Every structure is written in C-alpha cells, then in structure tokens.
Chains A and B, each alone.
Chain A
Amino acid sequence: MESLIQFFSQYGSEMLVKTWEHLYISLIAVGLGILIAVPLGVALTRVPKVADFVMGLLGIIQTVPSFAILAFFIPLLGVGKVPAIVALFFYAVLPILRNTYTGVNGVKKSLLEAGRGMGMTGWEQVRYVEIPLAIPVIMAGIRLTTVYLIGWATLASYIGAGGLGDYIFSGMSLYQTEFILAGAIPVTLLALLTDLLLGKVENWVTPTGLKKLKEAA
C-alpha cells in the first residue's frame, strides 16, 4: 500500500499524460478508420463484385500480426506517434468496413425501391434510408474496434509512440510488477469507459423508430 502511494506521488502526473497519449492515439486511429471505412462500406454495396475482392484483401491484412504491421511502418514512416496511428488505423478499417457493408447491404430492397420510386437521389437514399437503418450494425463495429484498438495501442509504445504501453514494457524488462499494473489497469479502465460512452452515443444516434421496433420484437 505504501509503495502504491509512493508510486503515485512519483509517477501520478506522468501517468495522466501517458493515459492521454494512449487515448488520443487510439481515438485518432478509430476516427480516421470511421472517416474512411463508413463511406467506403456504403460505396462497396454499389459494386458487389469489387466488394468481395476488397473484403478478401482486407481479411488477409487483418491476419498479419499487429507487431509485424507496426514494424512494417518503421522503414516507411520511422518511429513515433505517426506510424503507430497509421498502423492502428489499418486495423480499425476492416471491422468498421465490414459492419458498414453488412449493415447497408441488409437494408430491405423494397425500402430502397420505394425510395427510388419516390424520387430520391442516390445520396438521399444513403442519407434517409440506408445509414439510419444500418446505424445499429455500424455502431457495433465501431464499438468493438475502439475497444480492440485501445488494447493494441499498448504495443505502439514499442515503436516509440508513448502511451500506457511504456509502463508495461518497462515493467516487464525490469521485473517491476507495479509498473505493469500501472499500465494494464488504466488501459482496461480506458477500454471499459470508452465502450460505455460509445454505448450512450449508439443509443443517441439510433432512430427512435428502430429502438421501438427492437423493443416490440
């Protein structure tokens, strides 16, 4: 207990900085992932042949170990936060893309026909029909990805990105349990809190009609 207090007094402020680093590396990667994957997922539903190919390709990339991906970006982008964010972004794209594609593809064709028959433009169909109906599936993808990425961001410290991974790695090499815990516990809490928060966001962006429909079913 005493050592814990001592640890906090010594490293407390540094921990906050590391936590913040950790969070923003993960969130920037997820944010970029959403920005790219959601539009791409919608676009892919328009070209099913290309979609199969792209999904397959991304599936292969996903199987490459995260460490290898991180290492892969060192010769290209050097060390530091940027290559870490880029690598994590690659990891974020696939689950979000897949969920967006599945969600949008799952919208009933009759609803799209009704929309088109009423005179919706392609964009209006996406805006008023496809996205609102696919939101629960897309959000599920985003939540899952965010939680994973917060975990994976630990590894990013290996290529000098900072974050809570620093504590874990130094704890492991120095056989200092408190360092490992000082990294692992905040990471876990961060993941849980973010998931909770995103749950609220999901509830907020899901149209009332869909929520009621789910309750009724």
Chain B
Amino acid sequence: MLKFDHVSKVYKGGKKAVNDLTLEFEKGEFICFIGPSGCGKTTTMKMINRLIEPTEGSIYINGENIMDKDPVQLRREIGYVIQQIGLLPHMNIQENISLVLKLLKWPEEKRRARALELLDLVDLTPDYLEKFPHELSGGQQQRIGVLRALAADQPLILMDEPFGALDPITRDSLQEEFKKLQKKLNKTIVFVTHDMDEALKLADRIVIMRDGQLVQCDTPDEILRNPADEFVEEFIGKDRLVQARPNIQTVEQIMNPKPITVTGERFLTEAIQIMKEKRVDSLLVVNEFNVLQGYIDVELIDQKRKKATKVSDIVEPVTTVEAGTLVRDTIRSILKKGMKYVPVVDHQQRLIGIVTRANLVDIVYDSIWGEDEITA
C-alpha cells in the first residue's frame, strides 16, 4: 500500500532530516512514527502528501510513484489531520467536514448527506452540522477534524500528533474511539506522535526514528520484548519494559498464592486476632468454597465494631483481576487507581492469590538486578 524506497530529505544548509529510509506498509495497518523532536518523523509523514518533497528516493502508494502525480490531486486522495485541528472558523461544521468534497466539486445535497453519515460515526447529532467550530469543545473539534479527513473515503490518512493538544481524559477517549473507527473502516493510518503510551495503544507497527535514521520498525509487543538498542530501551522507558517481561506474562506467575483470608461467620475479634498474628491490616473474606466475598480492614472494624459482631456484617466489595490477566495491565490498574493490592480469582470467583505492591517491588528489583532473567 505504502512504500518508502531509500528516501532521504536534505534541507537547505545540508541538514539531513531523513536519511535513506526504506519501509513498506500493508493496507489497513495503523503505523505510528515516534521519536524525539527533530528525529524526522514529521518530515517523513509530510513527504507522503508532498507537503515536503523528498530529495532522494521514491515513495509509492499502491505501486504508483507519488512524484508522478499532481500534488493537489494526490493530497485530495489522502486524509490529513493536524495537531492544531485547523477547522475553518468561518465555516459551519457541515462545510468543514465536506471541504474536500467541495474541492472535488460534489453537489451540495451529496455533501450534506455525506456529512450526516460521518457525524453519525462519532455519535454526534445532526444539529451539529449547523454549529460553528468555536461552539464545540476541543475533543469535539478534533472529532470533526478526523471526519474531514475521512470525507472523501480516502484509503490513507496522515495524522500529525492529532491528540497532542487535548487534555489527557479527552485524549484517552478519542484514542479508543479512533482505534475502533480505524478497524471498522480499514484505513491505513500514518500517525506521528512523541507519546509512547499512545503509540503502544494504537499502533499495529511502530517506527522508531532518531536523527533521521530508522532505528526499529516492529509491532508494539516485539519492540517491548526486543528493543533494538539502548536508545529504544531508553525511549520506551524501564517501567514499560518491566511490564513486558516475557517470562512474567500473567498474574499467576507473580502473585502470592496464599493470601490471608477469613470467613464471613467469624467474629470481628477473631479477625483482628488474625491480623495481629499475620501482621496485616486487611483480610480477604471468602465463603466455605473459597469464593471471594470482599474484604475487611482495620479501619472498617474500628468504625463498626460497636454495631457489628461478625465479619459478614461489615464486608466491603473489592476489585479483582481474573487469572490469566497480563501483568502489564494489572500493574497499570494498581498504579493508576492507587490500590494497595488486587486479589486474583479464577473464573468462578474463587480466590487463588493476591498481587500486592510488594510483588511490584520484586519485578522492578529483578529487572534492575537480575538482567539475566530478561533474556532478550
């Protein structure tokens, strides 16, 4: 679908922005270009629609050399989304979405119908067509920016840090929404970002660049498992590498298999006895079949000991993970939600273990001191 053949870009003054890049992508692939600023990722992207012309080498789209095409024609066949969104403030949403269609001389009714159809893709109601960009939130504006790039059903879409200017929550939801949309519409996406989390989340393949050179081009999993060199390792960050340790895949492998438990019919006084003996501040509550009921901790006991006598009277529900969950995801939820521990259950809600923050310490310790365990 998209092919770079020994492409270089030398700017006036001899600065080599892109050096001998050779890459090939399939239709429907989501490709993220990533690297520190000035690495040539944006230049590479802009060469695809000839906003920047390559100095050497050729770029092919579906086997056709882009230099043989009229640049205006070429750009109309490629979607383009920029970080600053770039909606025209004097046009309403319908006019903005269907701008490329206007350039392609579609009649008005067809443009309106297409705009409506697209608006539906991002769950915006038809009344948005008459609104103006400044009346929309940043997230909504960029949704329109994305729709504008989809209007003429372009098979290839270029995106230059499209979610970079949005707040983290909006960014998260737009990323998810867009990934779904891309799969549904089977578009080929070239996506430039400097945010590794974003690349890992969205990309089918990640192209890592530095100083105009290609450093590594692989799937997110492969990059996490086998970073090409120290630069890539550094760029990914230790914490993400830890999460991707190949020999620690699922939670069972790192969990503590003997969590301290108590059954519901025990008295609170007994529970506090167990806590004291085992030196813990909370207990997981299970029934006689070892099915997890929830948890109690010292604060709960302290608050309610006047009214309650049994553990089952004060038990609180607890967030769990199921056996087989990837360690990567578990760590994320522990860290993000600020939980102290996560019980591990099987598919019948039977307690089989617990992952605590101490387990995380083990993993980080191993990754720093026990490098031999991470067989690259």
Interface residues of A (CB under 8 A from B): 108, 110-111, 113-121, 124, 128-129, 132-133, 207-210, 212-213, 216
Contact = CB atoms under 8 A, between A and B. Distances in A.
Interface stretch (B72-80, B189-197, B299-307): B72-80
B88 A111 contact: yes
Given A113-B51, A116-B51, A207-B90, A124 B80 contact: no
A20 to B, nearest CB: 37
A120 B103 contact: yes
Contacts of A208: 90, 92, 132
B110 interface: no
Nearest to B71: A119
B88 A119 contact: no
Contact of A121 (B49, B72, B90, B91): B72
A128 B51 contact: no
Given A113-B82, A213-B132, A118 B100 contact: yes
Contacts of B84: 108, 110, 114
Nearest to A121: B72
B57 interface: no
Interface string B65-99: 00000001111110010101111111110000001
A188 to B, nearest CB: 35
Contacts of A110: 82, 84-86
Contact of B90 (A116, A117, A132): A132
8 contacts: A114-B85, A115-B88, A117-B49, A118-B75, A118-B80, A119-B76, A119-B100, A133-B89
A119 B103 contact: yes
Contacts of A133: 88-90
A114 B100 CA distance: 11
Q: What are the 8 tightest A-B residue pairs by CB atom distance, in nearest-first order?
A: A114-B86, A119-B75, A119-B76, A117-B80, A207-B90, A110-B84, A209-B90, A209-B132
B132 A114 contact: no
Nearest to B132: A209
Nearest to B46: A117
Contacts of A120: 72, 103
Interface SS majority for chain A: helix
With most chain B CB atoms within 10 A of its CB, the pick from A110, A118, A124, A212 is A118
Contacts of B85: 110, 114
B148 to A, nearest CB: 7
A210 to B, nearest CB: 5
B103 A124 contact: yes
Given A118-B103, A119-B73, A119-B100, A209 B80 contact: no
Interface of B: 49, 51, 72-77, 80, 82, 84-92, 99-100, 102-103, 132-135, 148, 158
Contacts of A216: 134-135
B89 A213 contact: yes
A124 B100 CA distance: 11
A119 B66 CA distance: 14
Contacts of B92: 208-209
Given A118-B103, A118-B148, A119-B75, A209 B86 contact: no
B89 A209 contact: yes
Contacts of B102: 128
Nearest to A216: B134
A208 B95 CA distance: 12
A118 B74 CA distance: 9
B329 to A, nearest CB: 37
Contacts of B75: 116-119
Given A117-B80, A117-B158, A213-B132, 7 more contacts: A115-B88, A117-B82, A118-B75, A118-B103, A119-B74, A132-B90, A210-B89
Contacts of B77: 119
Contacts of A129: 88
A212 B90 CA distance: 9
A49 B28 CA distance: 45
Contacts of A132: 88, 90
B88 A128 contact: yes
Nearest to A132: B90
A213 B90 CA distance: 8
